[in-house]
Chain A
Amino acid sequence: MGVSEAYFDTASAAPLHPAARQALAAALDDGWADPARLYSRARRARQLLDAARGATAEVLGVRPDELSFTAGGTAAAHAAVLGALAARERVGRGLVHSAIEHSAVLHAAERHVAAGGTAHEVGVDRLGRVDLAAFADAAAQPGTALAALISASHEVGTVQPVEAAGEACAQHGVPLYVDAAQSVGRVPLPFGWSLLTASAHKWGGPPGVGLLVVRKGTRFVQTGPSEERTDRSTDLPAIVAAAASLRAAQAEAAALAERHRVLVDRIRATVAATVPDVEVVGDPADRLPHLVTFSCLYVDGEALLHALDRRGFAVSSGSSCTSSTLTPSHVLVAMGVLSHGNVRVSLHRDSTEADVDRFLAELPGIVADLRAEAGVVDL
């Protein structure tokens, strides 16, 4: 499948699931016509789209007419945030969000503020869990129109108290938006939200397909191009592949999560025991099954990432030197944990125990070499 190295960056993009590949090939043959037209080939395309919508809605436990497909998780997040805010302008222009939202949500918040709205950021604890009391407090403020809480951190894996936040929001009639990009197709979804988004390439679907769910009774206006309602310009083959792979991922999810949990527990314990001066971050128990993050004191994150890449390990990093803006991950900053020398490992369905063990065997030497090169041994 072209992933011969140990690919440990599923949280950015999962390798294409075989079910997606198969469905994509079939849909490229069969689903290229404009589904809005009336001839039989168009009706075939329409059927494929309806079936994809139905299957996806079923996995999410929502009604098909509550679901739309977008051009990716980022587009879905923007649509959710800006669409829910626009629909509630009469109530107020306040947005509440956690400090550890994905940049897609933060950018939507910035756009809202630039347009005259307000945004209230709620902090997290050292493990990366939102301050629920502060979140509830902010939601209760007059003028709060929408609250946003990520389902689980894409950087450190900590699961967020979505249901409790949803209850608090509901008491004040405030809709809760949940960015569930790292949870859909992997772990059961929480209840208590009004809007939810996801991204197909996180579960093994193709890139460029996002999901937006707006529950019935939630005020919402379409802020972007209004094409999707008529399904004219959607990437139908990609949507069909996303739906097929979501169904397959969902069927495998429980067993896979169990396997990943064991491997991640091993990484957490072994890294802490074999690498000196390392901080393994995120909640050790209440976390995503497939993801773990740690920071190595005195080590340059970019150098570590390249050294790992040379040994055949693809990981990502929240360290400033690895970001285009040269700022550290806002998630690590909000948690107050070490941001340099940071590595995020995230597993996929074909990650093996042997991959993980090879990583654990090589990591201490790689970190030691980098520290020796930098002359920071015994500091």
Chain B
Amino acid sequence: MTEILDCRGQRCPLPVIALARRLPELPVGATLRVLADDPAAATDIPAWCRMRGQHYLGSPETHAFDVRRDV
């Protein structure tokens, strides 16, 4: 089951910070779904994954972003 991190209503960089706090607490291979409606999240979540060597899986629906812990 994918854990959900609800960051709706938060302005960037808060959703990215929440993601950075939560993802390392999950096992490698686990997926986290970040819900964020700040328009910057769609750019900044994939960018964070690239900078941190994590895997951005895509956006299954508006304001939802799936990230897999790779490292």
Chain A interface residues (CB < 8 Å from chain B): 277, 279, 297-300, 319-321, 326-328, 332-333, 336-341, 374, 376, 379
Binds A, one of B1-9, B26-34, B40-48, B61-69: B40-48
Alpha-carbon distance A299/B51, docked complex (angstroms): 15
Residues of A within 8 A of B39 (CB): 320, 326-328
| Separation of A336 and B47 alpha carbons in the complex (Å) | 7
Q: Is the CB of B20 within 8 A of A298?
A: yes
A321 vs B38: C-alpha distance in the bound complex, in angstroms? Answer: 10
Q: Are A279 and B20 in contact (CB under 8 A)?
A: no
Say whether B46 contacts A340, CB under 8 Å.
no
- Minimum CB–CB distance from B65 to chain A (whole Å) comes to 14
In the bound complex, what is the Cα–Cα distance between A339 and B40 (angstroms)?
A: 7
A328 and B43 within 8 A (CB): yes
Q: Are A336 and B43 in contact (CB under 8 A)?
A: yes
16 A-B pairs within 8 Å (CB atoms) are namely A277-B51, A297-B48, A297-B51, A319-B12, A320-B12, A320-B38, A320-B39, A326-B39, A332-B43, A333-B42, A336-B43, A336-B47, A338-B43, A339-B40, A374-B17, A379-B21
Inter-chain CA distance A298–B44, complex, in Å, is 10
Chain A residues within 8 Å of B40, by CB: 319-320, 327-328, 339-340
User: A333 contacts which chain B residues (CB < 8 A)?
Assistant: 42-43
B16 interface residue, CB < 8 Å from A? yes
B47, A300: Cβ atoms closer than 8 Å: no
Please determine whether A320 and B11 come into contact, CB atoms closer than 8 angstroms.
yes
Q: Are B11 and A338 in contact (CB under 8 A)?
A: no
Interface of B is mostly: helix
Known: A279-B51, A299-B13. A340 touches B20 (CB 8 A): no
Q: What's the least CB distance linking A267 to chain B, in Å? A: 20
Option from A319, A328, A336, A379 in Cβ contact (under 8 Å) with B17: A379
Instruction: Mark B residues whose CB is within 8 Å of A.
Output: 11-13, 16-17, 20-21, 38-40, 42-44, 46-48, 51
Cα–Cα, bound, A305→B46 (Å): 24
Q: CA–CA, A376 to B20, complex, Å? A: 9
CA distance A320 to B38 in the complex (A): 9
Docked complex Cα distance between A326 and B21 (Å): 24
Report the minimal beta-carbon distance from B21 to chain A, rounded to whole angstroms. 7
Contact A339 B12 (CB under 8 A): yes
B51 with A340: CB separation less than 8 A: no
Q: Which of B13, B17, B43, B47 has the most CB of A within 10 A?
A: B13
Name B38's closest neighbour in chain A (CB-CB). Answer: A320
Q: From A278, which residue of chain B is reached at the shortest CB distance?
A: B51
Q: Which residue of A lies closest to B12 (CB)?
A: A340
CB pair A337–B12 under 8 Å, yes or no, is no
Shortest distance from the beta carbon of B8 to any chain A beta carbon, whole Å = 15
- The distance from the CB of B3 to the nearest CB of chain A, in whole angstroms, is 18
Residues on A with C-beta less than 8 A from B43 are: 328, 332-333, 336-339
Q: Would you give the shortest CB distance from B18 to chain A, in whole angstroms?
A: 10
A200 to B23, CA, bound (A): 49
Closest 9 CB pairs of A and B: A340-B13, A338-B47, A328-B40, A379-B20, A320-B40, A340-B12, A327-B39, A333-B43, A339-B40
Note all chain B residues with C-beta closer than 8 A to A341. 13
In the docked arrangement, what's the CA distance between A279 and B43, Å?
A: 14
Q: In the complex, A321 Cα to B40 Cα: how many Å?
A: 9
Q: In the complex the two chains form, what is the Cα distance from A320 to B17 in whole Å?
A: 16
Q: Which residues of B contact A327 (CB under 8 A)?
A: 39-40
Contacts of B51 in A (CB 8 A): 277, 279, 297, 338
Question: How far, in whole Å, are A277 and B47 apart by their CA atoms in the complex?
Answer: 12
User: Smallest Cβ distance from B45 to chain A, in angstroms?
Assistant: 10
